[in-house]
Amino acid sequence: MNFADIALEEKQRVLRELSSVKADFAARGMFAGTSGNLSMRVGEFQPDSFHFAITASGKDKSLSTPEDFLFVDQSGKPCETTRLKPSAETVIHCEIYRLTGCGAIYHTHSVFNNLVSEYFGDRKSVPVDGVELIKAFNIWDEEAHIDVPIVSNFADVPRIVPEITDRLESRIPGILLRKHGIYAWGRDGFEAKRHLEAFEFLFEYAYRWELLKAIR
């Protein structure tokens, strides 16, 4: 499918939805120091052909401007002439869409996601046992156990991608970059937001649980 063939109404709907979630996350202090990025897919999906809107790189994400987002293709190349630069982490979004066919991907940095990624870094996953919010991932087992994958972080962002390819798990809609932040995705924006919020809750829980265990 060509980008030009995707309905204008769909592109506008995606930009409105991204603007709204960006304002919501910003109001909750989730984009410290311009960190974080958001994307949402438009049009049809094939693993080697898709398009999505993504936040422009390096912007103050607490502000709402006409230059907050641009559309890119499956290789991260802008679909239209623009002076905006897509997020420096666009290649990560490209790979997650390619592997999952999901509809939206949200990435945030937080103190808790950074702390647990380092604390559990050597075991390469954050373990969570039997916490109700695991159901946010559509995992309904009694006393479910999950391991959220942790991958290495590199300043050269494309170097991060191969480990994401290896470690992404169909059951867990997220991946944690060590001392960097969480990527969460879903079929649509509603689901990606639910997953991101659940990960943040579970990371804070995991952190506090380790502290409690140490003092009892």
Q: Candidates 54-62, 72-80, 159-167, 198-206: pick the segment binding ligand MRU (CB under 6 A).
A: 54-62
State which H helix or E strand residue 115 sits in: helix 111-119
- The answer to whether the annotation marks 107 as part of a ligand binding site is yes
**Nearest distance from C-beta of residue 154 to ligand MRU, angstroms:** 11
Question: Do β-strands 69-73 and 49-55 pair in parallel, antiparallel, or remain unpaired?
Answer: antiparallel
Is the CB of 92 or the CB of 131 nearer to Zn ion? 92
Contacts of 79 (CB under 8 A, 6+ apart): 3, 51, 70, 71, 72, 73
- By CB under 6 A, tell whether 200 contacts ligand MRU: no
Contacts of 62 (CB under 8 A, 6+ apart): 26, 27, 31
Q: Candidates 3-11, 72-80, 143-151, 180-188: pick the segment binding Zn ion (CB under 5 A).
A: 180-188
Would you give the distance in Å from CA 132 to the centre of its chain?
Answer: 22
- By CB under 6 A, tell whether 37 contacts ligand MRU: yes
Q: Would you tell me which residues interact with ligand MRU (CB under 6 A)?
A: 33-37, 55, 57-58, 87-89, 107
User: Which residue ranges are tagged as binding site for Zn(2+)?
Assistant: 107, 109
